[in-house]
Amino acid sequence: MKTKTTGIKRSATQDPENLNGLLNLFSKGYSGLECPGGKVGIRFERTTEAGLCEVERQGAKAVVRYHTPAQAGRALGALKAGLVPAGGVYRETTPFETLGVMLDCSRNAVMRAEHVTGVWLPRLALLGYNLVMLYTEETYELPGEPYFGYQRGAYTAGELSAIVAAAAKLNIEVVPCIQTLGHLEKILRHAAYQPVRDTSSVLMVGEPKTYELIDKMVAHWAGIIRTRRIHIGMDETHDLGRGRYLDQHGYRNGFELFNEHLKKVTAICRKHGLKPMIWSDMYFRLGSKTGEYYDLKTVIPPRVARRIPRDVDLVYWDYYHDDPAFYLDWIERHRKLGKEPLMGSGIWTWNMHWYDRRLTEANAGACVRACYQAKLKEVLFTMWGDNGAYCDHDSAFAGIAYCADLAYGATKPSPARLEKRFAAVCGGSYAAHQLASDLYLASDRGGIAERPRFSLWDDPFGETVFRTWAKDDPRRMAKVVRYYEKLADKLRPLSGDRTCGDLGYAYSVARLYTERYSLCADLMVAYRRGNRPGLRAVRRRIPLVRKALRDLENSFRRMWLRLNKPEGMSEIQGRFGLIDARYRELDQRLAEYLAGKCAALAEFEYRSPPGA
């Protein structure tokens, strides 16, 4: 008996039970999944060859050979994309048993559960991923704790259960990624949590009520997830033991406090049948005289390493290096602690409106190459939302697709192949998404680390980042303006495309950068030359900048509500309102100056600092 689907047909007796969820993506009309050449009969063959993803196609029939369901999903994505030649074989392998992503749902934006289940999970499965973490510091409802996620768009237990169930159908493991020590400022600001507060963001070690609260957290997640793994965070607790704990108990060594707490939380996880993992940075920071994670001189005493609970895994996070040798060194340092680390790389989405392909390809690329060499088995890519999560997170699928190609053996991923796969799986243009990422190339001076991020949130009177980079040099300013003007012209014809990321949002960013930096450059020149007609001309352009600002705010709102719950949007809308208010003030200040009501504009008397 044959079951007809959209673009694919299959024999019900040939379908391994655990692949039905993947095949149902086709029958449900998942966007763009028609197979080139018409309907194709699929036969699956599970192999013992680790990491194998292979498709052999003969006319209207195809054989998919796979080792795990993740490779079967990627094979179907390749078939859908037309990457399997008629009468030919498509073959890839990966050394990674786990290939995952971590989406930040705590830095202002909480992605809608239906967007996770209906968009993210299917795309990830067809790209070959098998793990998802939702980073939730306190953005989940916790029974008996009404302040958890209060007015922050917290996930309900029902929403989380729906995500877990949808992921299970696609053979994707959902691992909770929570916090059980630091990064809890959003909950600790409430007076009800004063008894468990050490500092504004760190829990009180040793306090019984602290562990009662953590027990609730772990028990809650244990009742929702199907995996037996949980990420309990514990990173960046720089002021551990330096607040109320210091007042009540005096100073204690950071290593001792950290291990004491970890031991207690590990016991709680064990009680609920879960195996914990933590971010590893605090061990390295505590061993550094400067408190840096990547300090080459850091020393972790053997006695400290011996006291790390055996059933705790370490996640080595690193998004900042473009040299595989650095990753290899740090992987080995983790191994010397007696741990085989999980690798946490990054697809750059934080402090920006659109994902950054250059940083992603340079740093994640070096990381994946190092993981190959070090023979690590588990790799995940984080997508943080620092500074308000105003990035279009769907834009990151271009980076997710690129990193999947790296993980499945492509030394240098082919843009042509990525274009086909991206169109088939994500429904958009890979090249267009890469073009939009050029928002972050205007200040490129030849080195990744040298590229400042021009900021829409700078005060228009100061434009601190832009002017500092340009050294108040009109020629350098004009160069940036010309760059964004050309980029906006390229993005304008694409601005209606929202099949994956919202390219209209990227266009609006480029347009606003063009208008505001052009105004800033001309204003500085005219003011310093005492050119009053020039200043009048600049003042007449302020409404154009404000219109570009409103256009961007509107596209931001459209993007946000498409992806996220409404909570948190007000934070960014408030920034737009503040910038608009400052342009109104700029208009008024220029009017007063031109009318002779003030002898100078003090805000424009500043020069960029020497050596900037």
Annotate 480-496 with three-state secondary structure: HHHHHHHHHHHHHHHCC
Residues 516-533 as b or e (16 or more Cβ within 10 Å = b): bbbbbbbbbbbbeeeeee
Cβ atoms within 10 A of the Cβ of 185, count? 14
Q: How far apart are CA 51 and CA 97, in angstroms?
A: 7
Four-residue CA torsion sign, 248, 251, 256, 258: positive
- Kindly report the CATH class assigned to 2-93: alpha beta
Higher pLDDT, 442 or 489: 489
pLDDT band at 2 (very low <50, low <70, confident <90, very high): very low
Instruction: Give pLDDT tens digits for 53-74.
Output: 999 988 888 899 999 999 999 9
Task: Give Cβ neighbours of residue 328 (< 8 Å, ≥ 6 apart).
Answer: 370, 373, 374
DSSP 297-363: T----HHHHHTS-TT-EEEEE--S---HHHHHHHHHHHHHTT--PEEEEE---TTSSS--HHHIIII
pLDDT at res. 43: 87
What percent of the chain is helix, strand and coil (3-state, nearest 5)? 50, 15, 35
Q: What Rg value do the Cα atoms of the chain yield, rounded?
A: 26
Total residues belonging to the chain: 612
pLDDT at position 27: 64
| 362-382 per-position pLDDT tens digit | 999 999 999 999 999 999 999
pLDDT at 11: 40
CA distance 205 to 228: 25
511: exposed, middle or buried (Cβ count in 10 Å: 0-12, 13-18, 19+): buried
Q: What's the average model confidence in pLDDT over 223-243? A: 97
The whole-number pLDDT of residue 550 equals 98
Which helix (H) or strand (E) element contains residue 573? helix 569-594
**Sequential DSSP letters for 461-519:** TT-HHHHHHHTT-HHHHHHHHHHHHHHHHHHGGGTT--SSS-HHHHHHHHHHHHHHHHH
Domain ranges of the chain: 2-93, 98-414, 441-604
441-604, which class in CATH? mainly alpha
CATH architecture assigned to 98-414: Alpha-Beta Barrel (3.20)
Share of the chain above pLDDT 90, in %: 85
Torsion from C-alpha of 198, 203, 205, 206, nearest 10 degrees: 100
The DSSP secondary-structure symbol of 68 reads S
This prediction's pTM? 0.94
Q: Is 80 exceeded by the pLDDT of residue 3?
A: no
The distance between the two most distant Cα atoms of the chain, rounded to a whole number of Å, is 88
Burial call 16-44: b when 16+ CB within 10 Å, e when fewer = eeebebbbebbbeebbebebeeebbbbeb
Q: Which of 481, 453, 452 is nearest to 391 (CA)?
A: 453
What's the pLDDT score for residue 86? 85
Query: What is the number of other CB atoms lying within 10 angstroms of the CB of residue 431?
Result: 16
The answer to whether residue 41 scores a pLDDT higher than 60 is yes
In this predicted model, what pLDDT tens digit does every residue of 303-344 receive, in sequence order? Answer: 999 999 999 999 999 999 999 999 999 999 999 999 999 999
pLDDT reported for residue 452: 55
Query: What integer is the mean pLDDT of 426-434?
Result: 97
> What span, in angstroms and rounded, lies between the C-alpha atoms of 585 and 461?
9
In this prediction, residue 449 carries a pLDDT of: 39
- 426: tokens are 């994500």
- pLDDT of 245 strictly over 70: yes
3-state class (DSSP) for residue 591: helix
CA 193, CA 203: separation in Å to the nearest integer? 9
Residue 1: is its pLDDT beyond 70? no
Look at 145 and 605; give whichever has higher pLDDT.
Answer: 145
What separation in angstroms does the CA of 351 have from each of 96, 258, 490? 29, 30, 23
Q: Which residues contact 67 (CB under 8 A, 6 or more apart)?
A: 46, 47, 48, 49, 50, 51, 52, 53
- Segment 510-545, tens digit of pLDDT: 999 999 999 999 999 999 999 999 999 999 999 999
**Stretch 192-211: mean pLDDT:** 98
**Is the pLDDT at 407 greater than 90, yes or no?**
yes
Whole-number mean pLDDT of the chain? 92
Task: State how far the Cα of 382 lies from the Cα of 212, in Å rounded to an integer.
Answer: 30
Which pair of tokens denotes residue 177? 């990624």
- All residues at 6 or more sequence positions from 566 whose CB lies less than 8 Å from its CB, including other chains: 153, 560
Q: Please calculate the CA angle 323-324-328 and round it to the nearest 5 degrees.
A: 130
Which among 179, 282, 211, 260 is positioned nearest to 187, based on CA atoms?
A: 179
Determine the pLDDT at residue 24.
85
Contact 83, 73 (CB under 8 A): no
pLDDT given for residue 37 in this prediction: 63
Residues 286 and 293: their CA atoms lie apart, in Å, by 9
Paired strand residues for 564: 111
Assess whether pLDDT exceeds 90 at residue 6.
no
Q: Is 89's pLDDT higher than 70?
A: yes
Nearest-10 crossing angle of helices 503-528, 532-563: 160
Cα atoms in the 13 Å half-sphere on the side-chain side of 118: 12
* Nearest CA-CA partner of 524 in 581, 477, 560: 477
Max avg pLDDT among 16-30, 338-352, 438-452, 596-610: 338-352
> How many other C-beta atoms are found inside a 10 Å radius of the C-beta of residue 492?
14
pLDDT of 565 reads: 98
pLDDT at site 390: 97
Q: What percentage of the chain exceeds 70 in pLDDT?
A: 93
Give residue 557's pLDDT: 98
Give the end-to-end CA distance of the chain in Å, rounded to a whole number.
72
Q: What is the pLDDT of residues 113-160, one digit of tens each?
A: 999 999 999 999 999 999 999 999 999 999 999 999 999 999 999 999
- Backbone φ and ψ for 537, nearest 5 degrees, come out as -65, -40
